């Protein structure tokens, strides 16, 4: 046998030599076996050896897999029942614009109880407002407020309706004229308070690049809730309310 069957290396590393020669000489035909263990860089689990690099790679793969599963699950969540499906206008198809957007859920009802055709919370993208003229005449004693608005606009494609915002107004007149002052017959206008929208339908079609003027007369009351156009008062030093 060898006089010194072990040779110690740095740290806790050990190299063991098993010689097959009983005469203390290692012949050329004999096998020499070296078993190397480095506790500082290996993890021994049972009888299997794992390197630190291999363990870290395995942990990284597990984390990446979990992250992918979570991301995939978030995209697979069912949409809410109020999901809106838009039908975008087609520049070459009047019928596509005349149809309003489809709504997944209950039908919308206007103030008059009629079905409100426009189902999107957003206004149509094919309407381009160009100018506003607003006139209001508030009565500070009765809190009544009457007014009128003239809106100059264009459309980017043919359509027989427009939609704009309107809130807490009693509409007394709605009319549309072309740029040459020719009147365009309005056959229907409906309000949907929840979306604060006003739907106006005409007899015929709005044509692209032509200017139109929408005129609306309205009545309302000044509010005291400090929202929008409201009425505020205070008591002066002489005790009078102003």
Spell out the domain ranges in the chain.
Answer: 127-222
pLDDT in tens, 89-117: 444 444 445 445 444 456 899 988 999 99
Euclidean distance between CA atoms 33 and 26, whole angstroms: 12
| Cα four-point dihedral sign 19, 24, 25, 27 | negative
Euclidean distance between CA atoms 70 and 79, whole angstroms: 17
Q: Is it true that domain 127-222 has CATH number 2.60.40.1730?
A: yes
Please state, rounded to an integer, the average pLDDT across all residues of the chain.
75
Question: Which is higher by pLDDT, 82 or 43?
Answer: 43
Are residues 145 and 217 in contact, defined by beta-carbon separation less than 8 angstroms?
no
pLDDT in tens, 132-165: 999 999 998 898 999 999 999 999 999 999 999 9
Q: Give me the pLDDT at residue 222, please.
A: 87
Alpha helices in 22-177 (DSSP H): 52-75, 94-98
Share of the chain above pLDDT 90, in %: 41
pLDDT in tens, 164-205: 999 999 999 999 999 888 999 999 999 999 999 999 999 999
Q: Say whether pLDDT at 42 is over 50.
A: no
Q: Give me the pLDDT at residue 62, please.
A: 82
- Residue count of the chain: 242
């Amino acid at each position: 046998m060898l006089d010194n069957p072990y040779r110690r290396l740095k740290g806790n590393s050990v190299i063991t030599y098993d010689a097959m020669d009983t005469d203390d000489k290692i012949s050329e035909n004999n096998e020499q076996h070296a078993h190397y263990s480095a506790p500082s860089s290996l993890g021994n689990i049972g009888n299997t050896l794992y390197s630190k690099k291999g363990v870290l790679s395995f942990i990284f793969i597990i984390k990446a897999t979990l992250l992918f599963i979570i991301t995939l699950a978030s995209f697979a969540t069912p949409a809410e029942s109020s999901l809106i499906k838009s039908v975008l206008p087609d520049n070459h198809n009047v019928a596509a614009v005349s149809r309003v957007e489809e709504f997944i859920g209950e039908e919308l009802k206007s103030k008059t109880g009629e079905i409100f055709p426009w189902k999107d919370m957003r206004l149509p993208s094919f309407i381009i407002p160009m100018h506003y003229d607003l006139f209001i005449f508030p009565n500070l004693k009765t809190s009544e407020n009457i007014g009128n608005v003239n809106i100059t606009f264009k459309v980017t494609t043919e359509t027989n309706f427009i939609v704009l915002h309107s809130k807490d107004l009693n509409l007394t007149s709605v009319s549309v004229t072309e740029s040459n002052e020719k009147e365009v017959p309005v056959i229907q206008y409906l309000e949907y308070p929840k979306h604060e929208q006003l739907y106006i339908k005409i007899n015929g079609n709005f044509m692209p690049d032509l200017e139109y003027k929408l005129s609306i007369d309205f009545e309302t009351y000044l509010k005291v809730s400090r929202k929008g156009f409201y009425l505020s008062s205070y008591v002066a030093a002489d005790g009078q309310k102003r």
